Amino acid sequence: MRITRTVAGRSRRAAVLATTGLTASALLLTGCSSDSDSSDTGSDANGKITLTVADYGQFGYKEAGLFAKYHELNPNITVKEDVTADEKVYYPKLLQQLNSGSGLADVQGIEVGRIKEIVDTKANEFADLSKVINAGDWVSWKEKQATTPDGAVIGAGTDIGPMSLCYNADLFKKAGLPTDRAEVAAKVAGGWEDYLKLGEEYKKKAPAGTYFMDSASAMFNAVVSSNAQQYYDESGKPVYKDSPSVKQGWDLAAEAADKKLTQGLAQFSDPWAAALRKGTVATVACPAWMAGQISVNAGDANKGKWDITTAPGSTAANWGGSFLAVPKKGKNVDEATKLVKWLTAPEQQAAVFKAIGVFPSNKGAYELADVKDAKLPYFNDAPIGQIYADEAKSIPEAVLGPKDGVVKDTISTQINNMEQRGTSPDDAWKAATSAIDKAIG
């Protein structure tokens, strides 16, 4: 009995301690949760404001020195960039932040494969930019993609991805193919079928261990994106199973895999980067931003070996491109809107193009010398300004769907299986459709 009492006596002190601890931690917890709603406006007593820009991959603002320049023009504003390397990591995080209403940056990047889903489901979370920017300044279809049915523009277009063909002229020479831009363009003028024929020609005398293309999925994307109808129809119904452009792209990819014209690499993966570095691929389907990817991954050792010419066929294509949006729950909506307007103005888009080669979506930029006369030294001084501006004029207005990004990724994975594992086109298509149905579900 005595012992129990002692234990109980000790316990009381402990109980007091435990209760105090509990209360303290409860306070801490509530303290944490109420913190985010506090009146922190991101500006201090002197009116200094810090704006955050959350994006993914390479937007090129830092490379072009634009944030520093904005600070010079507006000394009370500092811009911080929060970059997530992989858009597939970035986007779910953005959705979560939109749902919880906390953790959002003042400016958020949105990829074109997601813009439809955002417009459909999250438009009221973003500031309407239609009064600040003039949507007519953009290439006709770009701003339409970010416009809601009732006319609100929720994202200002940054770049577009007009298609070209990047080729390793050094390997072309070794394989006995023409290396001149115009001659290569003439060889593939008939379209992507011609491109495969050129591939077979290449294969006959190809240097050992090299392949005509990096990945058939790139060709698939190029083919699909040269069509107005891609994975969805105008009413928002998924039609990818019967879409002629998907069928054409798929068949060409299957043919490329079957003829072993491709190295079968998943684009942007480590092995893909390594292949560029070692110079084992002769061609890459090349939306404007891809040129930057190639020069970064292939490195200085391959400078001057690469060149750029117009994409196969006569129809223009667009692959990729992003938007800048301003969440309503951000701390400085007005200042953020001004920043977005400035970043997407012609001069700034031209500066980004000059720095890393992503192509402006603002038409005004095409008249600027930085774009019009742009040549890429890495690619043997290819006149990319001219190539891409010509292409951009005739890009069809694509019908977007909410799950475009996932559909594209899923099909790419299965094309990769055909190339790498020799999966039959039928099996790969079955796997792709079941995975896509699940994604759209």
Partner 1 sequence: MATSTPTRDAFAPPPGGSQQKPASSRRQTWRSRLWRFDDKASPYAYIAPFFLVFGAFGLYPLLYTGWIALHRVELTGLDQMEWVGWDNFDKILHDSEFWTAVSNTFLIGVMSTVPQLLVALGLAHLLNYRLRASTFWRTVILTPYATSVASAALVFALVFRADGGLLNWVLQIVGFGDTNWANGHWTSKIAISVIVIWRWTGYNTLIYLAAMQAVPTDLYEAASLDGASRWQQFRKVTIPSLRPTILFTIVISTIGSMQLFGEPLLLEGGTLGATGGNENQYETLSVYLYNYGWNLGHLGPAAAVAWAMLALLLIIAAVNWLIGRFVRKSAV
Q: Residues interacting with partner 1, by CB under 8 A?
A: 2-6, 8-9, 11-12, 14-15, 18-19, 21-22, 86, 88, 92, 95-96, 99, 117, 120-122, 266, 268-271, 274, 406, 409, 412-414, 416-417, 420-421, 423, 431, 434-435, 438-439, 441
Closer residue to partner 1, CB minimum distance, 316 or 406: 406
- Rounded least distance, CB 281 to partner 1, Å: 13
262 and 282 Cβ atoms separated by less than 8 Å:
no
Closer residue to partner 1, CB minimum distance, 194 or 409: 409
336 and 109 Cβ atoms separated by less than 8 Å:
no
335 and 124 Cβ atoms separated by less than 8 Å:
no
**CA atoms within a 13 Å half-sphere pointing along the CA-CB vector of 123:** 20
- Rounded least distance, CB 368 to partner 1, Å: 35
**CA atoms within a 13 Å half-sphere pointing along the CA-CB vector of 104:** 27
Closer residue to partner 1, CB minimum distance, 276 or 288: 276
As to burial, measured by CB atoms within 10 angstroms (0-12 exposed, 13-18 middle, 19+ buried), residue 69 is middle
Helices 244-258 + 404-421 axis angle, to 10: 20
**What's the gap between Cα 151 and its chain centre?**
25
219 and 253 Cβ atoms separated by less than 8 Å:
yes
Give the separation between CA 405 and CA 407, rounded to whole angstroms.
6
- Rounded least distance, CB 20 to partner 1, Å: 11
Closer residue to partner 1, CB minimum distance, 14 or 182: 14
- Rounded least distance, CB 340 to partner 1, Å: 22
Distances (CA, A) of 201 to 168, 218, 362, 377: 15, 20, 39, 28
- Rounded least distance, CB 267 to partner 1, Å: 10
150 contact partners, CB below 8 Å, separation of at least 6 = none
Q: Read off the tokens for 355.
A: 């720095």
107 contact partners, CB below 8 Å, separation of at least 6 = 51, 52, 53, 54, 324, 325, 326, 330, 336, 339, 340
- Rounded least distance, CB 134 to partner 1, Å: 29
Closer residue to partner 1, CB minimum distance, 18 or 369: 18
Closer residue to partner 1, CB minimum distance, 133 or 275: 275
Closer residue to partner 1, CB minimum distance, 117 or 391: 117
- Rounded least distance, CB 397 to partner 1, Å: 24
297 and 227 Cβ atoms separated by less than 8 Å:
no
Closer residue to partner 1, CB minimum distance, 99 or 314: 99
Give the separation between CA 272 and CA 166, rounded to whole angstroms.
15
Torsion of the alpha carbons at 4, 9, 12 and 13, rounded to the nearest 10: -130
- Rounded least distance, CB 346 to partner 1, Å: 33
- Rounded least distance, CB 327 to partner 1, Å: 14
- Rounded least distance, CB 214 to partner 1, Å: 14
Closer residue to partner 1, CB minimum distance, 8 or 182: 8
Q: Scanning the structure block, which residue is given the tokens 């913190």?
A: 35
Closer residue to partner 1, CB minimum distance, 80 or 277: 277
